Chain A
Amino acid sequence: MKLTQAPYSKRLLVTQISDATLEIKLLELGFGINSECNLLRQAPFNGPYTLNNEKTQIILRSEDANRIEVSILPRG
């Protein structure tokens, strides 16, 4: 599913990023394909999302979040 459709505060696995620049920028911050992350919140009026992993918290716009495919991981 797309990151924008993913539920909040669930363990997510990044499965695909459909934009090279976006993927490089996410990799730099430690959010590559096959990495785990959490969707935390979204600013009002379809504003940016906040996303975190164990080490880092980032914000990204919804159009970029739309380019990221994730799957839900079982609790663990």
Chain B
Amino acid sequence: MKVVLAGNPNCGKTSLFNRFTGMNQKVGNYPGITVSKREGSFTIDGETCSIADLPGIYSLYAGSEDEKIAVNAILDLQKLENPPITLCIIDIQSPHKNLLLLSQLIELGLPIIGVFNYRKKTTTSEISDWIKRLEAKYNIPFLAVNANSGEGLYALKEELKNSKDKETVNRYPNSKIAEFAEWIKQANNSAAGSHILKITKDLRARLEEVDSSFPSKTFGAEHKQNSTEQTHSKTSYLDNLLMHHIWGYVIFGVSLIVIFQAVFAWSAHPMEWIEEGFGLLSVCTHAYLPVNFYTNAISNGIIPGLAGIVVFVPQISFLFLFIALFEESGYMTRVVYLMDRLVKPFGLSGRSVVPLISGYACAIPAIMATRTIKNPREKLITMLVIPFMTCSARIPVYTTLIALMMSSEASVGVFNAQGLVLFALYLFGAFMSFFTALIAHKVMKRGGRSMLIMELPNYKMPSFNNVVLTIYEKSKSFVFQAGKIIILVSIALYLMSNIGFNDTFEKIDNNDTEFVNQFKPNELAQLKLENSIIGQLGKFIEPAIRPLGYDWKIGISLITSFAAREVFVGTMSTIYALEDAGDDTSSIVHKMQSDKNPDGTAKYSLAVVLSLLVFYALAMQCLSTIAVMYKETSGWKWPSIQFVVSTGSAYLLALLVYQLMS
């Protein structure tokens, strides 16, 4: 059996999907959280049923990409001989909006079950009378469930079981909706607009009668004060503050600063513990495992590489904590309201702000979140500039490089100096995003009219479960996605650094005593690395990166970072662990700090570090982002332009910084 979930944005579809499947997926109090079709499965009496969760829509008239995904999926169902059962979820707090979609779905002739989602327990006697009236009117079953607690889910499964055997009846064979579906397909045609409007008006008018019969006073009679009204007044009180023309911006600004301080200062201790843990693990593998090639590969290749990633989990968790809180509480839409006018001169929309802020976490979900932007031009500009936002993968690189410049105790007033530099880098990323957007806005051809109409959801207390789930999911996918690359890169690096084809390498590898005795052990390790395949590769690109102040070791890291930028730290850790022949377990920062040029000056001078920071701030070093851009823009044109512009400007600016500073 197949089941499809459809409904308005923020009506509880995804919560119900999670209830059904147990599959974890993000639920937010921001329209458009589900930006693609999600699929999962559950069982009824041992039979496996597949279930799909569609992005939220208000009607079959789609404006944005995410809405088109939902509408097309529904229109495709119509063509099937045995269409799956569609559960149309209706938020009981605002049935007037939700019933429009329901009536359209019913007229499409699909097998439907109307599911009322309630959040607070209520005596349902009047509601059930109303439901009976609806059942009589529409001739489909209706049920009430609490998607958050799972109450009513059993009855819903029973209903699904019964509905399975019923024959599909096209209840409205002459329905205007078939015609409507045709008009929707040509929605860009201006004549279609007026037809769609006419049919929508017609449906809406027919709903007036249902609307007015909804027992809205039921809640009021049962509870001293109507729970909806209570939420409304709380919402309007908070809106007076959070949407205020001065305080609104002050609060938004302060919350951004708090996020950056949290990401940097609060996560410092857990990061130390993780670093020490991995150091210990490396020592233990050396001490307890037999000395052979595999042990070396694990303790000098994989463990330092993985440590370089896992250590950043606390910072990423804090970042996602705040993003999840913003989305869950309903604050994100207020940010859209505050920011729309400010970002408009850059060719962006208020809806771009959420994807841009999400870009601080990761460009991949952020680019996917642009599907909620209705205007294609605004959507494209947003997608093009998101990778400049400081994603969490840059945090490992920035933290390591900043630590090379200054001690963790340094402070400016009450602020931690490292935190301030990080904040400046975040500002630099945002500046570059807007600067690039402005250029794109001036250069690109103007598109159609842009429209921003959004519902402001009532504020709600973020659900602890949903927030924890988001943090867990995002951190896990960061560690596992990056982890997979890191393990592969670490193994490849280890192999490539232990294979070489020139004389020097062979002499060291064969332990030619006459040659080997001329060097100290550390010098020998460096010489071996320098003459290995990876060393030769680094040397090969050295002429191109020398003007930026980089040597072949940084060159190796630059090459590997094009897979994913966070690989920089893992690669550096592996290179320095190899170079120290595994007997020095001090941190990577310490090792890099003590690395000297032949003339005795520090290899990582201020000029080199700043140049690297600029390079990593701008270069497009993420295969997954390129892949998602290819998918979203359906071609190589835009990802190629993005790659060339970002990486080119990264090289030129890094060159400028080094040449000016040195």
Contact = CB atoms under 8 A, between A and B. Distances in A.
Interface in B424-444: none
A25 to B, nearest CB: 5
**Most interface-central of A21, A22, A41, A50 (chain B CB within 10 A):** A21
A24 B200 CA distance: 7
Interface string A1-38: 00000000000000000001111111111101000000
Contacts of B337: 43, 47-48, 50, 59
Interface in A37-76: 40-41, 43-48, 50, 55-61, 64
Contact of A59 (B196, B197, B336): B336
A45 B96 CA distance: 33
Interface string B316-342: 000000000000000001001110111
A49 to B, nearest CB: 9
Contact of B341 (A47, A57, A60): A47
Contact of B338 (A20, A30, A32, A43): A43
Interface stretch (B446-454, B500-508, B596-604): B446-454
Interface in B342-373: 342, 350
B487 to A, nearest CB: 46
B341 A20 contact: no
Contacts of A23: 197
Interface stretch (B56-64, B301-309, B541-549): B56-64
B143 interface: no
B245 interface: yes
Given A21-B451, A29-B97, A58 B341 contact: no
A35 to B, nearest CB: 10
B451 A48 contact: no
B100 interface: yes
Contacts of B452: 48, 59-61, 64
A29 B61 contact: no
B185 interface: no
A11 B100 CA distance: 25
B460 interface: no
A5 to B, nearest CB: 19
Interface string B203-245: 0100000000000000000000000000000010001000101
A11 B58 CA distance: 25
B451 A22 contact: yes
A46 B472 CA distance: 40
Nearest to A21: B193
Given A43-B338, A43-B341, A60 B200 contact: no
A67 to B, nearest CB: 10
B456 A41 contact: no
Contact of B455 (A29, A40, A48): A29
B455 A56 contact: yes
A27 B211 CA distance: 14
B196 A61 contact: no
Contacts of A59: 333, 336-337, 340, 350, 452-454, 456
B660 to A, nearest CB: 37
**Most interface-central of B196, B239, B456 (chain A CB within 10 A):** B456
Contacts of B333: 59
A64 B341 CA distance: 13
A44 B100 contact: no
Contacts of B200: 24, 27-28
A22 B194 CA distance: 11
Contacts of A41: 243
Given A22-B451, A47-B340, 14 more contacts: A25-B58, A25-B453, A29-B97, A41-B243, A43-B338, A43-B340, A43-B341, A45-B341, A47-B342, A48-B340, A59-B454, A59-B456, A60-B454, A64-B453
9 contacts: A24-B59, A27-B100, A28-B200, A47-B337, A48-B337, A48-B340, A55-B96, A55-B97, A64-B453
Interface of B: 58-59, 61, 63, 94, 96-97, 100, 190, 193-194, 196-197, 200-201, 204, 235, 239, 243, 245, 333, 336-338, 340-342, 350, 451-456
Closest 8 CB pairs of A and B: A47-B341, A28-B58, A20-B193, A57-B456, A44-B245, A20-B197, A28-B59, A45-B341
